[in-house]
Amino acid sequence: MNLLTILLSFGFVIIALFLSAAFKLGLGRDLLITSVRATIQLMIIGYILKMVFGFKNPLVMIVMIGLMILVASSNAAKRGRGLPHIFWKVYLTILIVEAITQGFLLLLHIVPATPQYIISISGMIIGNSMVIASLFLNRLKGELDMRKDEVLLVLSLGGSQKQSIYPILKQSIRSSLIPTIDSQKTIGLVQLPGMMTGQIIAGADPIQAVRLQLLIVFLIMTAATITSIILGFLIYPGLFNREQQLDIQGWE
- Closest of 184, 188, 146 to residue 167, by C-alpha: 146
Distances (CA, A) of 138 to 76, 141, 177: 10, 5, 13
pLDDT at 78: 92
Do the beta carbons of residue 53 and residue 120 sit within 8 Å? Answer: no
Q: What is the pLDDT along the chain (252 residues), one digit of tens a residue?
A: 667 777 788 889 899 999 999 988 898 899 999 999 988 988 898 888 888 888 777 888 899 999 999 999 999 999 888 888 899 999 999 999 999 999 999 998 888 888 888 998 999 999 999 999 999 999 998 888 888 888 888 888 888 888 888 999 999 999 999 988 888 887 776 666 777 777 777 787 888 888 888 888 899 999 999 999 999 999 988 888 777 777 766 555
Dihedral class, residue 76 (left if φ above 0, else alpha if ψ from -120 to 50, else beta): alpha
End-to-end CA distance of the chain: 48
Do the beta carbons of residue 229 and residue 247 sit within 8 Å? Answer: no
Do the beta carbons of residue 125 and residue 101 sit within 8 Å? Answer: yes
pLDDT at 198: 77
pLDDT at 249: 63
3-state secondary structure of 246: strand
pLDDT at 190: 67
What string of DSSP letters covers 183-222?
HHHTBTTTB--HHHHHHHHTT--HHHHHHHHHHHHHHHHH
What string of DSSP letters covers 91-111?
HHHHHHHHHHHHHHHHHTTSS
Strand partners, 246: 240
